[in-house]
Amino acid sequence: MTSLSPPANKLWWNEPIEKTELLWISLVFVWGLVMTFMMPFWHITGDQNLSTETYRTTPEAFLAKAQKMVDKYTVRKDGPRQTPVVKPPAGSDVYLVARLWDWWPSLELQKGQSYRFHLSSMDWQHGFSLQPANINIQVLPDYEHVVQFTPNKTGEYSVICNEYCGIGHHLMIGKIYVVD
Amino acid sequence: MDNQQFRVCPDTGLKFFRSAEALMKANAVAAVVFLLVGGIYGLGVGLTRWPAVHLLQADQFYLALTAHGINVLLFWCIFFEIAVLYFCSSVLLGCRLAAPKVAWAGFALMLIGALMNNYVVLQGNASVMFTSYAPMEAPPLFYLSLILFAVGALFGCFVFFGTLVIAKNEKTYEGSVPLVTFGAITAAIIAVFTIVSGAIILIPTLAWSVGLISHIDSLMYRLVWWAFGHSSQQINIAAQIAVWYAIASIVFGAKPMSEKVSRMAFLLYILFLQLASAHHLLVDPGVSSEFKMFNTSYAMYLAVMASMIHGLTVPGSIEAAQRAHGFNSGFFEWLRKAPWGNPTFSGMFISLIGFGFLGGITGVVMGAEQINIIVHNTLYVPGHFHATVVLGTTLAFMAFTYWLVPILFRRELIMKGLASWQPYLFGLGMSGVALFMMGAGTLGVPRRHYDISFSGTGGIVHEFPAAANTLMALNGLSVLLAVIGGASFCIIIVGSLLFGKKLGENEKCSVSMITAPPAEEAYEGIGKGPITVPGTLVLAMIFFVSFAVYYFINWKYLAETWGIG
Amino acid sequence: MSEQDEDQIPMMQKLLDNPFILLFLGVATPSLLYLIWGIMEIVSIPLAK
C-alpha cells in the first residue's frame, strides 16, 4: 500500500497520528501564530508601516498639485534635465510625479523631519524604489497614495523605477537629497 | 471491459488506457518543448543581466523577459500538469479517461494559445511582461492567446473531474482515492479558481485592447490578475507535492505517514493557498492593512503550515520506508543509502530541499506585510520564485519525467550517465540563480531592469554597492550552469523519445521502475523510541531554526530604514 | 464497501472524499476572502480633495 493506491484502511480518518507529526504540527501552528502576531505588533511598535491612505484622482489634477508645490518651493535646478529641486517645509505635503520616464521633481528633505508624500502616475504603472534606503512602493495611475516618510540619514538618494514601464524603464530615475 | 482499451504496464502493473496515454504523451511533449523555448529566452535574460556581458539590446531584453516568463511559468508548467492530472486520474484509478475528445480539444486550444502567444511576443510590440499590467497595452492577440490557453486548460480540468466521477461510478477503485490523486484534485481545484480569475480579468482587457471598453482600472487589474497569476503558481505547488509523494512511493515503496494529516494539509491548500495572491498588493495603494495581513498570511499561515507538514511527511515517509527496508541504524543511514544516482530520486530530493529552504522560507518572509516594503519588485522576488517554480516545481517534474519516459513512452532512457548528473547540475545552477538574485535584491537591485548602471540617462545615475555587480556576474555563471542542466534534460528526454531502445508491450525495462512496499510488519519498531523518523525530525528542526532566524533578521533590516507611515 | 461501512465513515473523511464539495470550497473561499473583499475596498476609495 503506497501513496499511489487507495488507503488500505477504509476508515483511515480514525487512524492515530504519529508522534513525530503531532510534535511538528504543534510547533508549526504556534510559529504561524507568532508570525501572524508580528504584523499587527509592528503596526503598534514599529516605525515602518506603509499607510494605505488613498484617493482617486486624475493625472491632470495630480500634476496641477505637484506644479503648485514646484512653483512655490523650488530652490535650484538639477542635472542634465534641469529638474527643479524642491525644498518643501517639514511636515508638508510633497507631490512626486511618476511618468514615462522620470520622477518629477527632485526633492530636498531634512533629516529627522516627516513629510507627507503623495505618489501617483501620469500614465502606466511604476515602481517607487528609494535607494539605498530600499523602500519600494507600487505607483498607479488614477490613484493618489499618501505615505509619510521620515529620513533617518543624510545623503543623496535615488528614486529608481522597479515596475517595468516600457522601453525607457531603465532610464527612469530621480533624486532626493537629505540634509541636516 | 475489453483488453483493447488499455495495456498493463509490465514494470509497474499500472493500467494505461489508450485514450489517456496519447493525451499524456502529447501534453508532456508540448511541456518539454515550451520548457526548451522558455529556457533559451532565460539564457538571454541571464546573460544580459551579467554586467560584463550585457548581451541583448533593451528591446530584445524586454521581449526575452516577457517570453521567458510566459513560456515557463504558464506553458511548461500547465502542459505538464495536465499530463499529471490525466495520470493521477486515469492511470492511478485504473479508469478510462472521460471525454477524450474534449481533452484533445483542450490540448488543441492550449497549443494554439501557446503558439499564438509566442508569435505575438516575437513580433516585438507585446513586450508587456507576464503580468501585462494595464494600462500598458498589448495587441489583442496577446490577451486572446492567453484566454485560449486558459480555456484549454479548463477543459483538461473538466476531463479530470469527469474521470473521477467515472472511476467512482464504475468502481475501478475501492474506498478513497490514492493520496497522490488527492494532491492532483487539489491542483485541479486551484486551477479552476486560477482560470476563472484569469477569464474575469483577461476578457475585459481583451475588450479594452480592441476598443470596446474605454478604461481598465490599474488597481482592479492587479487585484484580479494576481488571483490568476499567483494562483497559477499554487497549482504548481500542489502538483509538485503530489509528484513528491508519487516519487517517494515509486522509488522506496513509501506509504503516507498518515493519510489524515497529508490530506488535511492538502485541504488547507484548497481553502487558503490562493489567498497569497495578496503578496503582490502589499505595497499597493488602496487596500487596507487588514486585507493585506489576512490574505498575505494565508489566513494565519494555515497554508504555510500545510507546506511544512508536507515538508515533513514526504521525507518522513521515505525515511520510514527505508528503515523498514533495513536501513534503520543511526539518524541518516536511510538517506545515505538512498539511490543518489537515480535522477528520479535525486531530482525530487533536491526539489524538496531547494523549495523548502530557498523558496519557502523567503516567500513567507517577504510576504510579511511590512517586510515586503524592502523587497517588493527588487531582484529578490525573481530570486525567490526561481527557487519555488524552477528548483521546486520544474526539478520535480523533470525527476518525474525520467520515470515517465520508459513507463509511458516505452523507451529506455539514453545517456543514463548524464541523466544521473543532470539534477545536480540544474539544482546547483538554479540554487545559485535564486541566491544571487536574492542577494542583489537585498541591495536594492530592481527586477525587470535592463541596465543597472544607468548608462543611458545622461548622467543621472545610481551606484549600487559594488557587491551587486559581483552578484549579477555570479548569477550569470549560475544561469550558464542551470542552462547546461536544463539543456541536458531536454536532450536526454527528446533523444530518448526518438532514439531510446524501444520496449515491447510486455517487455520490462532494464532497471527496476518501482520498488515494492516493505511488509507492514517491517514498520514495527523502526526509528528511535517513539520517534519513527528521527532523521527527518532533525532535518525539520534545522529548517525551523533557519526559518525563524531569517525571519527576525529581516525585521531587523526593516527597522534600519527610514520611518514610513 | 457495504452500506454499514458507509455509515461509519467520519464526516471529515466524507468531505475529503468528495471532490465537488472541495471544488466549491476551493473556489468560494478565495473568491470571498480575496476577490470580493478586495473589490469592495477598491470601489470604496474616496475621491481626492
Residue with grid cell 486548460, as numbered in its chain: B153
Secondary structure of B398-433 in HEC code, one letter for each residue: HHHHHHHHHHHHCECCCCHHHHHHHHHHHHHHHHHH
Which residue on chain C is closest to B160 by alpha carbon? Answer: C19
Residues from chain B that touch C32, judged by Cβ atoms under 8 A, are none
The answer to whether B193 contacts C26, with C-beta atoms less than 8 Å apart, is: yes
> Which of A131, A148, A164 is opposite residue B565, by nearest beta carbon?
A148
Q: Which of B173, B200, B224 is the last residue of a domain?
A: B173
> Considering only CA atoms, which of B63, B66, B69, B80 is closest in space to residue B29?
B80
Total Cβ atoms within 10 A of residue A71: 10
The answer to whether C5 contacts A10, with C-beta atoms less than 8 Å apart, is: yes
The parent domain of residue B451 ranges over 339-505+518-524
Secondary structure of B70-130 in HEC code, one letter for each residue: HHHHHHHHHHHHHHHHHHHHHHHHCCCCCCHHHHHHHHHHHHHHHHHHHHHHHHCCCCCCC
The answer to whether A3 contacts B257, with C-beta atoms less than 8 Å apart, is: no
The answer to whether C16 contacts B176, with C-beta atoms less than 8 Å apart, is: yes
3-state secondary structure of A90: coil
Number of H helices, E strands in chain A: 2, 12
Interface test with C, best of B166, B267, B273 (most C CBs within 10 A): B267
Which residue on chain C is closest to A120 by alpha carbon? Answer: C48
Which whole number is the average pLDDT over A34-51? 97
What's the confidence (pLDDT) of residue C2? 53
A58 sits in which H/E element:
none
∠ at Cα B191 (B190, B192), nearest 5°? 90
User: What DSSP string runs through chain C?
Assistant: --HHHHHHS-HHHHHHT-HHHHHHHHHHHHIIIIIIHHHHHHHTPPBP-
Residues from chain A that touch C49, judged by Cβ atoms under 8 A, are 55
> Which of B175, B190, B275 is opposite residue C34, by nearest beta carbon?
B275
The answer to whether B231 contacts C37, with C-beta atoms less than 8 Å apart, is: no
Distance from the Cα of C28 to chain A's closest Cα (Å) equals 23
* C-alpha distances in Å from residue B202, one per residue of B108, B115, B226, B243, B474: 20, 18, 11, 30, 37
ipTM, two decimals? 0.97
Q: Is A162 on the interface with C (CB under 8 A)?
A: no
What's the confidence (pLDDT) of residue B138? 97
3-state secondary structure of B12: coil
Decide: C25 and B273 in contact? Cβ < 8 Å.
Answer: no
What is the C-alpha to C-alpha distance for residues A38 and B306, in angstroms, rounded to an integer? 20
Residue B535: burial class (beta carbons within 10 Å; 0-12, 13-18, 19+): buried
> Which of A10, A12, A55 is opposite residue C47, by nearest beta carbon?
A55
What is the C-alpha to C-alpha distance for residues B486 and B244, in angstroms, rounded to an integer? 20
Q: Is A14 on the interface with C (CB under 8 A)?
A: yes
Sign of CA dihedral B184, B190, B196, B198: negative
The answer to whether B537 contacts A24, with C-beta atoms less than 8 Å apart, is: yes
What is the C-alpha to C-alpha distance for residues A129 and A139, in angstroms, rounded to an integer? 10
Strands A83-86 and A74-78: antiparallel
Please name the amino acid found at residue B156.
Answer: G
Q: Is B565 on the interface with A (CB under 8 A)?
A: yes
The answer to whether C38 contacts B189, with C-beta atoms less than 8 Å apart, is: no
What's the confidence (pLDDT) of residue A79? 85
Cα maximum dimension of chain C: 70
Distance from the Cα of B386 to chain C's closest Cα (Å) equals 25
Q: Which of B155, B173, B191 is the last residue of a domain?
A: B173
Contacting partners of chain A (3+ CB pairs under 8 A):
B, C
Which residue on chain C is closest to B272 by alpha carbon? Answer: C30
Total Cβ atoms within 10 A of residue B450: 22
pLDDT tens-digit readout, C1-49: 455 567 789 999 999 999 999 999 999 999 999 999 999 999 999 998 7
Decide: A163 and A139 in contact? Cβ < 8 Å.
Answer: yes
Residues from chain B that touch C12, judged by Cβ atoms under 8 A, are 264
CATH number of the domain bearing residue B487: 1.20.210.10
Q: Which of residues 38-77 of B touch A (CB under 8 A)?
A: 58-59, 62
Domain ranges for chain A, please list them.
14-45, 53-179
Which residue on chain A is closest to B464 by alpha carbon? Answer: A132
pTM: 0.97
Decide: B409 and B25 in contact? Cβ < 8 Å.
Answer: yes
Which residue on chain B is closest to A13 by alpha carbon? Answer: B260
What is the C-alpha to C-alpha distance for residues B542 and A21, in angstroms, rounded to an integer? 16
**Total domains present in chain B:** 2
Residues from chain B that touch C41, judged by Cβ atoms under 8 A, are 286-288, 291
> Which of C8, C16, C48 is opposite residue A61, by nearest beta carbon?
C48
User: Is the preceding peptide bond at B285 cis, omega within 30 degrees of 0?
Assistant: no
> Which of B164, B223, B281 is opposite residue C39, by nearest beta carbon?
B223
Decide: A124 and B368 in contact? Cβ < 8 Å.
Answer: no
Sign of CA dihedral B526, B531, B532, B536: negative
The answer to whether B565 contacts A49, with C-beta atoms less than 8 Å apart, is: yes
Decide: A39 and B369 in contact? Cβ < 8 Å.
Answer: yes
* C-alpha distances in Å from residue C16, one per residue of A156, B158, B270: 58, 19, 11
Q: Is C41 on the interface with B (CB under 8 A)?
A: yes
Distance from the Cα of B273 to chain A's closest Cα (Å) equals 14
Distance from the Cα of B414 to chain C's closest Cα (Å) equals 39
pLDDT tens-digit readout, A84-119: 999 999 999 999 999 999 999 999 999 999 999 999
Q: Is B256 on the interface with A (CB under 8 A)?
A: yes
| Cell reading at B381 | 522576488
Q: Which residues, in sequence order, are CB contacts of B336 under 8 Å at separation 6+?
A: none
pLDDT tens-digit readout, B519-553: 999 999 999 998 999 999 999 999 999 999 999 99
Q: Is C31 on the interface with B (CB under 8 A)?
A: yes
> Residue A89: what are its φ and ψ, rounded to 5°?
-65, 150
The answer to whether A10 contacts C1, with C-beta atoms less than 8 Å apart, is: yes
∠ at Cα C46 (C45, C47), nearest 5°? 125
Beta-ladder partners of B411: B502
What is the C-alpha to C-alpha distance for residues B66 and B122, in angstroms, rounded to an integer? 10
Q: Which of B173, B195, B212 is the last residue of a domain?
A: B173
Residues from chain C that touch A12, judged by Cβ atoms under 8 A, are 13
Q: Is B287 on the interface with A (CB under 8 A)?
A: yes
| Cell reading at B108 | 488543441
Q: Please give the mean pLDDT across all residues of chain A.
A: 96
What is the C-alpha to C-alpha distance for residues B247 and B224, in angstroms, rounded to an integer? 35
Q: Which of residues 436-495 of B touch A (CB under 8 A)?
A: 442-444, 446-452, 454, 456-462, 464-465
Q: Which residues, in sequence order, are CB contacts of B195 under 8 Å at separation 6+?
A: B150, B151, B153, B154, B157, B228
Residues from chain C that touch A62, judged by Cβ atoms under 8 A, are 48
What is the C-alpha to C-alpha distance for residues C4 and A29, in angstroms, rounded to an integer? 36
The answer to whether B563 contacts A79, with C-beta atoms less than 8 Å apart, is: no
Residues from chain C that touch A11, judged by Cβ atoms under 8 A, are 5, 8-10, 13
Decide: B563 and A47 in contact? Cβ < 8 Å.
Answer: yes
What's the confidence (pLDDT) of residue B128? 97
What's the confidence (pLDDT) of residue A58? 97
Please name the amino acid found at residue B195.
Answer: I
Distance from the Cα of A89 to chain B's closest Cα (Å) equals 18
Q: Is B532 on the interface with A (CB under 8 A)?
A: yes
What is the C-alpha to C-alpha distance for residues B167 and B161, in angstroms, rounded to an integer? 10
3-state secondary structure of A48: strand
Which residue on chain B is closest to A2 by alpha carbon? Answer: B255
The answer to whether B565 contacts A25, with C-beta atoms less than 8 Å apart, is: no
Distance from the Cα of B295 to chain A's closest Cα (Å) equals 11
What is the C-alpha to C-alpha distance for residues C43 and B288, in angstroms, rounded to an integer? 12
Classify domain A53-179 by CATH architecture: Sandwich (2.60)
Distance from the Cα of B195 to chain A's closest Cα (Å) equals 24
Instruction: Give the residue ranges of chain B where pLDDT is below 50.
Output: 1-2
Interface test with C, best of A13, A138, A142 (most C CBs within 10 A): A13
Q: Which residues, in sequence order, are CB contacts of B36 under 8 Å at separation 6+?
A: B486, B487, B490
Q: Which residues, in sequence order, are CB contacts of B65 under 8 Å at separation 6+?
A: B41, B45, B127, B129, B448
Complete edge-to-edge strand list for the sheet that includes strand A106-110: A74-78, A83-86, A106-110, A173-179, A155-161, A126-131, A135-139
Residue with grid cell 504519529, as numbered in its chain: A18
Contacting partners of chain C (3+ CB pairs under 8 A):
A, B
Decide: B256 and B317 in contact? Cβ < 8 Å.
Answer: yes
Total Cβ atoms within 10 A of residue B118: 19
B334 sits in which H/E element:
helix B333-336
* C-alpha distances in Å from residue B271, one per residue of A12, B300, B397: 22, 12, 24
